[in-house]
Amino acid sequence: MFDRVRIVLIETSHSGNIGSSARAMKTMGLSQLCLVSPKAVDEQSIALAAGAADIVKNAKIVSSFDEAVADCSLVIGTSARLRHLQSTLIEPRDCAEKVTKHQGKVAIVFGRERVGLYNDELIKCHYHLTIPANPDYSSLNLAMAVQLISYELRMANLMKNGNAAQTFSEKTIESQSVTVQEMEYFFNHTEQLYQSLGFIQNQGVMQKLRRLYNRANMEKNELNILRGMLSAVEKGLDLPKIDS
């Protein structure tokens, strides 16, 4: 399971935090680290990684959130307990359960030390992970948050393996899950069509639709139906078919 799970750190400012996060991951059996535009990966990262320097050295470095999660079918972003995210908020234990049950690739995304994830990043996440910290002082260090989430993943995995063996082929199910990139095509197609119909006039509608469909965690055959519906409308309206 742990090979499917990627920890993504966005624009980390303190290089030491990258090392501490790698150490936290390795103590819980995780190894896939992806860094989005880190300020630096240096000897401080390696020093704080201690016996997990291999994870720092093998980390994939990319330049955007989209690139980091493109091949994942479940994206979970850490967040404060924001009101407008209420319906998609999960705590570490639920998160671990969802990840354990999910069959495709998973990204768990940690934001910048001071300001977390931006709204345009949050909207691309299926779930928003919040740690039920002390409301009077909720300032967890980045690597501490990585430690807690990795711990819950390990616990969930240990429990799952303690139970019955899997009876289905993971590969079959993985092939049915939808990647972030496929969802992006669908969202863009929807936006263009309903803009041309005059229904979509601002970003609010698309944000709500993204939230809804990401939450539903669609399967490929469901996405195909929704795309077929877009094409049927275009055909009915005699619009040129949008290539997606």
Residues forming the site for a second copy (CB under 8 A): 20, 23-24, 26-29, 50-52, 86-87, 92-93, 131-134, 136-141, 143-144, 147-148, 151, 154-155, 158, 169, 172-173, 194, 197-199, 205, 208-209, 211-213, 215-219, 221-222, 225, 228-229, 232-233, 235-237
- Rounded to the nearest 10 degrees, how much is the dihedral formed by the CA atoms of 172, 173, 174, 175? 60
Q: Between 87 and 181, whose beta carbon lies closer to a second copy?
A: 87
CB of 243 to a second copy, least distance (A): 19
CB of 79 to a second copy, least distance (A): 15
Q: Between 68 and 145, whose beta carbon lies closer to a second copy?
A: 145
Instruction: Quote the Cα angle for 182-218-212, to 5°.
Output: 95
CB of 244 to a second copy, least distance (A): 17
Q: Between 64 and 195, whose beta carbon lies closer to a second copy?
A: 195
Sign of the Cα pseudo-torsion (226, 192, 105, 94, in order):
negative
Q: Between 60 and 215, whose beta carbon lies closer to a second copy?
A: 215
Q: How far is CA 188 from the centre of its chain?
A: 19
User: End-to-end distance of the chain based on CA atoms, in angstroms?
Assistant: 32
Contact (Cβ atoms closer than 8 angstroms) between residue 130 and residue 108: no
* DSSP assignments along 122-160, one per residue: HTT-SEEE-----TT-----HHHHHHHHHHHHHHHHHHH
Q: Between 63 and 198, whose beta carbon lies closer to a second copy?
A: 198
Q: How far apart (Å, rounded) are the C-alpha atoms in residues 44 and 170?
A: 39
CB of 236 to a second copy, least distance (A): 5
Q: How far apart (Å, rounded) are the C-alpha atoms in residues 103 and 169?
A: 9
CB of 229 to a second copy, least distance (A): 6
CB of 23 to a second copy, least distance (A): 7
Residue 221 tokens, joined? 């055959």
Instruction: Quote the Cα angle for 43-48-49, to 5°.
Output: 95
Q: Between 37 and 207, whose beta carbon lies closer to a second copy?
A: 207
